[in-house]
Chains A and B, each alone.
Chain A
Amino acid sequence: MIKQIQAFLISLIIATFLVVTHTTATNLIWLQSINMPVDFQLVIATMATDLVDMNSRGAFPTIALIFVGLLIAFVTARIIAIWSSIKAPYLYALAGGAALLAIVALMPMAFYNLDLIAGARTVAGRAYLVVAGLIAGYYFGSHIQKGDSNEAN
């Protein structure tokens, strides 16, 4: 159980990190495209600021949003796993991707079609965030699998 919680927290951190840094990159790439002076130091500083502020200063902490999404998705995946023969890493990867897809798809419905996560305003941006969910889910599923085999031993 402790390993599962640990795996969940790490997958949460992975997803949050990927979502936040994608937002930072989206903003900075555009700024550079209009010849604003974006250098490596600024990228690192902005990324660090966003990692703190997007989880503390915004209207909603990004990590809390992803926490809820992944929790619902992983619990659902665990129930599906009872009947499904899909390997855990792939099942949880799908669940993680679905969680992020739900977040980026449902948020605009609640806010007059507004995308409050700036990185989710394009199809490519949404696809990237879904991939972030896939990666986080894959990590969780892989870890759960290892935990299960350890218990069997």
Chain B
Amino acid sequence: MKLINLPLFFLSLLLGSGLAVSGDQNVKVETEIEILAEGLDHPWSLTFISDEEMLVTELSGNLRRVANGLSDPTPIAGVPEVLFAGQGGLSEILVDPNFADNGFIYLSFSAPDADQPKLNRLNVIQARLEGNVLVDHKTLFQSHPPRRTAAHYGARLAFLVDGTLLITSGDGFNYREQAQALDNHFGKIVRINTDGSIPEDNPFTTTPGALPGIWSYGHRNLQGLVIADDGTVYEHEHGPQGGDELNLVLPGKNYGWPAITYGVDYSGAKISPFTEHPGMEQPLKYWDPSIAPSGMTLYRGDMFPHWQGDLFISALVPGDVRRLKMQDNQVVGEEILFTEFGRIRNIVSAPDGSLILVTDGKDAKLIRVSAKK
């Protein structure tokens, strides 16, 4: 992990100044770029714990603190052992809505199964951040059943407006048909309380054979999850070739995977000849060819007034950010931004209204996008 230096900072400011032209109304949004940190090892998620201090997860298992443009070379201690393989590892980080008072953070990660170490599960824990150490760990969720693949974990977390926690659990790649069954966590969004218990008003608590934590089903590899102020849940997921989706998620609904899809398998085979079916929800938008959506934020800041209420989606292929103009829960415009950084793993709104881009890979960067002064 390298510390940011002043010449690099000014160079990045100089080179990174740019112009983003909003496609919907031809409004020119001038931006400037600042590299906050570099040398990160497969960063996956970040969250702000104060106006200037953020925590960053690295898939390889480290949790790092970045403050005032300086990244702490010593990772935070007390992070559980993770399975760093394939797409697995230390994934999402989320702070408790009352973090200032209770210090709780939530982490998702893949780890070997305790009884069958060749298999693994998606785990979600709660822990308290005390200085530079995580303490008081509590396991809130383990996906069921365990899997042998190290792919398609989902692993995003978000709080609903009622304080319950949503967890995205991917289809495990090899287990895609299980996304249509309610007796497992493959291809599901799960809703739990912050003590790990199941909310009584979950949609399948009285369905025989269903796991009570399930909130919605028929998903593939859910990598973006945001909750609007009015409680609207937006989720995006990696589809197969040509089937990446943005969905508006409602409890109890079936989002169709793999019975309906706009994509085809990596082998070229038709996974399903159907793109719609009664009782299965349609996406708000799908991408063909795929963009490999990897993270999402709903812009609520003041720094870019023209972008208020827009969804920003980071994309791995070919590597850019999609700004989606939303109106009445429909996508009414799409703009491609920040094509110069390669694969982008995540995008987060900062408290000051700037956007933070997280690039992908072994030598990755955190990049702040601000309005040009």
Contact = CB atoms under 8 A, between A and B. Distances in A.
B26 to A, nearest CB: 37
Interface of B: 85-87, 148-151, 173-174, 177, 180, 241, 259, 264-274, 277
Contacts, number: 81
Given A114-B174, A121-B174, A50 B85 contact: no
Contacts of A62: 267-268
Interface stretch (A1-9, A22-30, A92-100, A133-141): A22-30
Contacts of B266: 58-59, 116
B180 A53 contact: no
B272 A118 contact: no
Contact of A23 (B86, B241, B267): B267
A55 interface: yes
B267 A117 contact: yes
A58 B85 contact: no
Interface string A2-45: 00000000000000000010011001001100101000001001
A31 B272 contact: yes
Contact of B270 (A24, A34, A115, A117): A24
A49 interface: yes
Contacts of A60: 267
B268 A57 contact: yes
A27 B269 CA distance: 9
Contacts of B241: 57-59
B269 A114 contact: no
B107 to A, nearest CB: 22
- Centre residue among B259, B270, B272, B274 by max chain A CB count within 10 A: B270
Contact of B272 (A27, A53, A54): A27
Given A60-B267, A113-B148, 11 more contacts: A34-B180, A34-B259, A50-B268, A50-B269, A53-B270, A54-B267, A58-B267, A58-B269, A62-B267, A112-B86, A113-B149
Contact of B150 (A23, A50, A113, A116): A113
11 contacts: A27-B271, A27-B272, A34-B259, A45-B273, A55-B268, A56-B268, A58-B264, A58-B269, A61-B268, A62-B267, A114-B151
Contacts of B174: 113-115, 121
B186 to A, nearest CB: 13
B270 A50 contact: yes
A142 interface: no
Q: How large is the interface on A (under 10, 10 to 19, 20 to 34, 35 or more residues)?
A: 20 to 34
A145 interface: no
A59 B259 CA distance: 22
Contact of A36 (B148, B150, B274): B274
A34 to B, nearest CB: 6
A46 to B, nearest CB: 5
A87 B177 CA distance: 43
Contacts of A30: 177
Nearest to B268: A58
Contact of B85 (A54, A57, A112): A112
Contacts of A117: 267
Contacts of A24: 269-270
Contacts of B274: 31, 36
A59 B265 CA distance: 9
Nearest to A55: B268
Contacts of B271: 27, 118
Given A30-B177, A36-B272, A45-B273, A58 B148 contact: no
B151 A53 contact: no
Nearest to A28: B273
Interface in A95-128: 112-118, 121
Interface in A57-79: 57-62
